[in-house]
């Protein structure tokens, strides 16, 4: 059994890692970390997990000895400081290892990169696009939730040579913001309320553009408008494109591109994309539409932000790093209703 540690185990993505890894045959979570719950049992912090004998340790005091892999489920800027202290395999669920260029990170996140010397050891952890490189890496920068929903929805067309504007409208539930309380996250504010935020300057835009540029092999720019909606989980991204190819050709490109990808489901014509069809699963649903009147292609994707958008994808990456079956612990069907 590989021994796993989780820093930030008291947060939303940390809790999802614990729940999903509970079903893994070849790894065991042996150390969980929190600064605010040191000495408490897992069940005291998450009553749903009261069966567990795990106790929270202080990440600032522990030496991470005896661990084969460390998940970092902490805010951007914090993860790099922990990655410096651990010489084994690292999967960061935040942004510290998503960019090869520290300058782009520093501009997007408004803070200095704490370990730029580690960036050459890091790979962007989107298995469907970078599987071979991930397998050989020590550090994985797990993709952002919006970028996962957008990059997978665009990769087939961009690698085929799409040229033209890319306009994206994304909707996300409240868990995307994490567990830390903020005024805008209070029930009385969030419920029965929605709207766009960070229009024109969301920190996921540089991540989306840098990976799309790699996929297309030329610089890409996008217009990205995220919205917060009063649900707990789920992201839907709707992407408006020029119609360079026919709907039939686009459908063929997507079906072939993802033919061997267990988690990516290119839905049949007429099937709707809804968060309900992917919730609490590692699946990505994609649909391709045309607007004949406006001569546009419209791609729509849906994911669960905490699973394919975070902890599920992180486990997919862990499986690749350990040369285990990529879908291990992740094959559960979505929850319905
Ligand atoms: N939520 C999502 O849908 C999602 C999706 C993709 C990626 N992510 C990324 O994943 C990371 C975790 O997100 P989350 O939603 O799980 O956040 P969260 O619910 O706010 O949890 C983050 C945890 O990090 C710990 N933490 C904060 N500062 C720390 C420090 N200086 N040292 C050690 N631990 C610290 C906190 O635990 P203690 O205070 O108990 O120590 C907290 O429980 C973030 O980088 C986020 O951007 C989130």
DSSP string computed for 281-304: SS-EEEEEEEETTTTEEEEEEEE-
- Average pLDDT, integer, range 249-263: 98
Give 100-115 pLDDT, tens digit per residue: 999 999 999 999 999 9
Q: Are 54 and 21 in contact (CB under 8 A)?
A: no
- Average pLDDT, integer, range 36-55: 97
- Average pLDDT, integer, range 93-98: 98
What separation, in Å, do the N-terminal and C-terminal C-alpha atoms of the chain show?
35
- Average pLDDT, integer, range 30-37: 98
User: Is 145 annotated as catalytic?
Assistant: yes
**Of residues 185 and 147, which shows the higher confidence score?**
147
- Average pLDDT, integer, range 299-325: 98
pLDDT of res. 227: 98
Q: How confident is the model at residue 225 (pLDDT cuts 50, 70, 90)?
A: very high
Q: Are 307 and 280 in contact (CB under 8 A)?
A: yes
Q: How confident is the model at residue 281 (pLDDT cuts 50, 70, 90)?
A: very high
Q: How confident is the model at residue 80 (pLDDT cuts 50, 70, 90)?
A: very high
Q: How confident is the model at residue 198 (pLDDT cuts 50, 70, 90)?
A: very high
Ligand 1 atom at shortest distance from the alpha carbon of 93: 10
Determine the distance separating the centroid of ligand 1 and the alpha carbon of 295, expressed in angstroms.
Answer: 42
What's the CA gap between 304 and 316, in Å, rounded? 14
Catalytic residue among 6, 67, 145, 239: 145
What's the CA gap between 192 and 136, in Å, rounded? 46
Q: Which of 10-19, 176-185, 282-291 has the lowest mean pLDDT?
A: 176-185
Residue closest by Cα to atom 3 of ligand 1: 176
What's the CA gap between 247 and 230, in Å, rounded? 33
pLDDT of res. 106: 98
- In the chain, where are the structural domains located? 2-143+308-321, 145-304
Q: How confident is the model at residue 191 (pLDDT cuts 50, 70, 90)?
A: very high
CA atoms within 13 A on the CB side of 322: 25
Write down the pTM of the prediction. Answer: 0.98
Average pLDDT, the chain: 97
Q: Are 226 and 198 in contact (CB under 8 A)?
A: yes
Q: How confident is the model at residue 57 (pLDDT cuts 50, 70, 90)?
A: very high
What's the CA gap between 236 and 149, in Å, rounded? 7
- Residue 217: how many CB atoms within 10 A of its CB? 10
For ligand 1, pick from 44, 75, 78, 79 the residue to mutate: most ligand atoms within 8 Å of CB.
75
pLDDT of res. 238: 98
What's the CA gap between 285 and 202, in Å, rounded? 24
Domains 2-143+308-321 and 145-304 share a fold: no
pLDDT of res. 37: 98
* % of residues, the chain, pLDDT over 70: 100
Q: How confident is the model at residue 95 (pLDDT cuts 50, 70, 90)?
A: very high
- Average pLDDT, integer, range 19-32: 98
* % of residues, the chain, pLDDT over 90: 99
Q: How confident is the model at residue 175 (pLDDT cuts 50, 70, 90)?
A: very high
| CATH fold for the domain made of 145-304 | Dihydrodipicolinate Reductase; domain 2 (3.30.360)
- The domain 2-143+308-321: what is its CATH number? 3.40.50.720
For ligand 1, pick from 7, 11, 278 the residue to mutate: most ligand atoms within 8 Å of CB.
11
Determine the distance separating the centroid of ligand 1 and the alpha carbon of 175, expressed in angstroms.
Answer: 11
């Amino acid at each position: 059994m590989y021994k796993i540690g989780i820093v930030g185990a008291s947060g939303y993505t940390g809790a999802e890692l614990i729940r999903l890894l509970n079903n893994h045959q070849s790894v065991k979570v042996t150390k969980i970390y929190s600064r605010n719950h040191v000495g408490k049992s897992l069940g005291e912090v998450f009553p749903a997990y009261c069966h567990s004998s795990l106790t929270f340790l202080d990440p600032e005091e522990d030496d991470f000895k005896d661990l084969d892999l460390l998940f970092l489920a902490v805010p951007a800027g914090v993860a790099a400081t922990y990655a410096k202290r651990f010489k084994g395999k690292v999967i960061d669920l935040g942004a510290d290892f998503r960019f090869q260029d520290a300058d782009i990170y520093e501009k997007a996140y408004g803070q200095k990169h704490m370990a730029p010397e580690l960036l050459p050891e890091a790979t962007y952890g989107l298995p469907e696009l970078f599987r071979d490189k991930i397998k050989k890496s020590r550090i994985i920068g797990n993709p952002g939730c919006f970028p996962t929903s957008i990059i997978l929805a665009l990769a087939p067309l961009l690698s085929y040579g799409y040229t033209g504007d890319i306009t994206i409208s994304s909707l996300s539930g409240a868990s995307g913001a994490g567990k830390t309380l903020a005024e805008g996250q209070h029930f009385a504010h969030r419920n029965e309320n929605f709207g766009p935020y960070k229009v024109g300057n969301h920190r996921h835009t540089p991540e989306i553009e840098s990976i799309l540029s790699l996929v297309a092999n030329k610089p890409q720019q996008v217009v990205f408008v995220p919205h917060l909606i009063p649900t707990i989980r789920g992201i839907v991204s709707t992407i408006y494109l020029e119609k360079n190819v026919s709907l039939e050709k686009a459908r063929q490109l997507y079906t072939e591109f993802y033919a061997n990808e267990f988690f990516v489901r290119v839905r049949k014509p007429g099937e709707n994309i809804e968060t309900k069809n992917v919730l609490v699963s590692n699946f990505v649903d994609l649909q391709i539409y045309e607007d004949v009147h406006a001569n546009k292609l419209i791609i729509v994707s849906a994911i669960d932000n905490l699973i394919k958008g975070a902890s599920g994808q992180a486990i997919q990456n862990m499986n690749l790093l350990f040369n285990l079956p990529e879908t291990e612990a992740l094959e559960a069907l979505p929850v319905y209703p």
